Amino acid sequence: MKARVTVTLKSGILDPQGKAIEGALKSLGVDGVASVRQGKVFDIELAATDKAKAEAALKAAADKLLANTVIENYRVELL
């Protein structure tokens, strides 16, 4: 089973990397960019075939390691 965990910064957390990318996009002349926030995507292959078990494993992975929940949110998707 394939899955994707997306980790994003919580709103209100300063994201200097996103700001730098936003500036670069503007200087490249890409129109209409209001703001950029950078995050991370993890594509994970699971041995499990049970959906509920897979989701539980992904949640555990995100809580224990993939995301720092002090500053980040995460979203789990089974593909």
Closer CB to another protein, residue 11 or residue 49? 11
Per-residue burial over 16-48, b if 16 or more Cβ lie within 10 Å, else e, is eebeebbeeeeeeeeeeeeebeeeeebebebee
Q: Rule CB under 8 A: which of 20-49 touch another protein? A: 20
Taking CB under 8 A as the rule, which mask of x and - marks residues 47-76 in contact with another protein?
Answer: -----------------xxx-x-xx-----
Q: Least CB distance from residue 51 to another protein, whole Å?
A: 26
